[in-house]
A and B are shown apart, each in its own frame.
Chain A
């Protein structure tokens, strides 16, 4: 009564079995009296075999008994009565029943085996698919995603994967309808600590809403897999349990591999960062020390032997110290910019800015360096507005203009041009210098890279990488080309809608 579907399915088997018996009996009626009745038992046996192979043992035993009754009633004289005229029919009945039951046993076992084989094949191919899928995953999160997807498809339940971390265990990925709370977490924690399944459907901590199995080897657990079917039924049958175990094993391997890979990637990154920091440190300490040497030297000379140094030299020493302190300030500024760009948390204060104004500010702060330069600014329209961080983009222009001045002959011109191309602005900064060696074009934006130049040019090799960092933080792109005529051109592409995206 508790399950209608159950009754209906069972009933169907008996109805089909009864129909088979009826068919044999009906056909037999045509031959009634023409052949010896005991010959019919062969056909009834056929019905028993078919029933056993198709619907299993209960149905086939039912067929055997029902067959005997039908046989007796319709085909054994006297007809249409259960009485038997000849004793030999009683033997036939007994013989038929015994054979029928034995055939039922054998046939239904072979049926069960073939069903199991089919299930096992399905499971094997499912596991194969699963292992392929997890092997293609690169991160733990991806593996956990694949585990959840496959558990969902194969067992029809929602799943959650808990991963061990420093403070115990926490869900690393779960389906939306999985019941996550402190209590369920505690059950998962128990499963991890004891390396035994527990939760709903088991005898341990059965008050839990889901069923939990440990992931990992007996020596080292990596996490816990939680499962819960949509209707709250968490009791799996034996083949399902086998599948759960197999999936859990596969998942353990995949998750462990992903964790190890992530760890090794982290270590590699740490190593690279360390190497970079060492390079940075040695380069910076050199850049910082050079001006400091001159400042310390000049000031110590003056403070110790002020009277001994003649007035012209005094002025000379102080001027050198002052110039070098300005240079030092520039380096520190660049380093600060670099740190901000590198740290990845460059906070952009994006507002609409007048590009001409921005260029004007950049030109003003380089007033001394650009004194002898003819600078042309070519902007379209009345006002050219861009959503950028004014101060940061000024740093970009200062660096580019400073570079243009450094790498081109004194007195040669520099031009700045901007135009709107669809939803982007294209800005060009062009000098009339020696250009950039073709093989260096790709690398000039790398940290500490400095193009080989015919003359000594001072700098930290950070300027252009700062430019790139700032432009990319705006969702833009910066690159360099050599002008076919003469000089280098730096291009900046900035989206007109970056402000909307960032804020």
Chain B
């Protein structure tokens, strides 16, 4: 099994959710350790050396974002946030604090496993150089080359920078703030820079998406940011 020997920490105060996650992950050969609150969760994330952490944002004892910060002080372990709908600001805060990804409750086991796999793959040492391949899209970062179904695509330098940062973080949500900072060196989210980002994303989609009206590669996370989807 590709997940063999993997160990994941689940931090959630709801016993039924821990039980469901344990069953779902165990069935894929992943062992699970559990923490019912933020205090124990942070402690176990640092001392029990799990391969990844699944963290519920709504914990009884402390703010989930606080837990993320506490873990990030000493560890780079991948963190996946579980949150409810309609609180983009919490998701953004958790991502900016260092969380790797988020899932909106309720979610199904398949989605969760896909996210975990993506993160693990991203962290694993690359075997095939630096070429990214997904659904007909190929991005060779070292050669500055992008092809769609074998046809080369001409991107402007800024467009390439955006696709490059998405590729380097594929599967992971990048907040607007983070992209603006990395590409344009902007702090905060000034409207003119956000406009530039929207236009750039729109242009990239026109060039790489089979149907730019229904994007399959660059996905929008409403109110949060963008994610490069890997098949």
Query: Which A positions have Cβ atoms within 8 angstroms of B?
Result: 322, 325, 329, 333, 336, 340, 349, 351-354, 356-357, 359-361, 363-364, 375, 377, 382-383, 385, 389-391, 394
Contacts and interface: CB of A to CB of B under 8 A. Distances in A.
B191 interface: yes
A332 to B, nearest CB: 9
Contacts of A340: 86
A351 B194 contact: yes
B219 interface: yes
A360 B198 contact: no
B213 A377 contact: yes
Interface string B106-128: 10100000000000000000000
A361 B221 CA distance: 8
B31 interface: no
Contact of A391 (B88, B198, B202): B88
A335 B195 CA distance: 33
A153 to B, nearest CB: 51
A364 B219 contact: yes
B199 interface: yes
A315 B206 CA distance: 42
A356 B199 CA distance: 11
A357 B86 contact: no
B88 A364 contact: no
B58 interface: no
Contacts of B213: 356, 359-360, 363, 375, 377
A363 B220 CA distance: 12
B153 interface: no
Contacts of B191: 351-352
The A interface is mostly helix, strand or loop, or mixed, namely helix
B106 A329 contact: yes
Interface in B185-231: 191, 194-195, 198-199, 201-203, 212-215, 219-220, 222-223
B222 A394 contact: yes
A352 B194 contact: yes
A391 B199 contact: no
B106 A357 contact: no
B222 A356 contact: no
Contacts of A383: 198-199, 202
Given A357-B202, A359-B213, A391 B219 contact: no
13 contacts: A322-B108, A336-B86, A352-B195, A357-B198, A357-B202, A360-B220, A364-B215, A377-B213, A382-B199, A382-B202, A382-B203, A383-B199, A391-B86
Interface residues of B, number: 21
A360 B222 contact: no
Contacts of B108: 322
B85 interface: yes
Given A349-B223, A356-B212, A391-B222, A333 B199 contact: no
Given A352-B194, A391-B88, 4 more contacts: A336-B86, A340-B86, A352-B198, A361-B222
A360 B215 contact: yes
B34 to A, nearest CB: 22
Contacts of B85: 333, 336
Contacts of A375: 213-214
Given A329-B106, A349-B88, A390-B223, A354 B214 contact: no
A352 B222 CA distance: 12
A363 B198 contact: no
B27 to A, nearest CB: 14
Contacts of A363: 213-214
A354 B198 CA distance: 7
Interface string B27-69: 0000000000000000000000000000000000000000000
A182 B88 CA distance: 46
Contacts of A349: 88, 223
Contacts of B106: 325, 329
A361 B88 CA distance: 15
A352 B201 CA distance: 14
B195 A361 contact: no
B220 A361 contact: yes
Contacts of B194: 351-352
Nearest to A379: B213
A364 B199 contact: no
B158 to A, nearest CB: 15
Nearest to B88: A391
A391 B214 contact: no
Contacts of A394: 222
Contacts of A356: 202, 212-213
Contacts of B202: 354, 356-357, 382-383
A390 B222 contact: yes
A336 B104 CA distance: 15
Interface string B87-108: 0100000000000000000101
Given A383-B202, A390-B223, A360 B214 contact: yes
B220 A391 contact: no
Contacts of B195: 352, 385
Contacts of B199: 382-383
Query: Among the interface residues A322, A352, A357, which one has the most CB atoms of the partner chain B within 10 A?
Result: A357
Contacts of A351: 191, 194, 223
Nearest to A365: B222
A480 B203 CA distance: 33
A349 to B, nearest CB: 6
B186 to A, nearest CB: 15
Contacts of A361: 220, 222
A406 to B, nearest CB: 20
A349 B87 CA distance: 11
Nearest to A357: B220
A270 B214 CA distance: 46
A227 to B, nearest CB: 52
A394 B203 CA distance: 21
The 10 closest A-B pairs by CB, nearest first: A377-B213, A391-B222, A390-B222, A354-B198, A390-B223, A383-B202, A357-B220, A363-B214, A391-B223, A361-B220
Query: Among the interface residues A325, A356, A375, which one has the most CB atoms of the partner chain B within 10 A?
Result: A356
Contacts of A352: 191, 194-195, 198
Contacts of A329: 106
Query: Among the interface residues B106, B199, B223, which one has the most CB atoms of the partner chain A within 10 A?
Result: B223
Interface string B65-90: 00000000000000000000110100
B19 to A, nearest CB: 13
A383 B215 CA distance: 15
A390 B215 CA distance: 17
Query: Among the interface residues B203, B214, B222, which one has the most CB atoms of the partner chain A within 10 A?
Result: B222
A383 B86 CA distance: 26
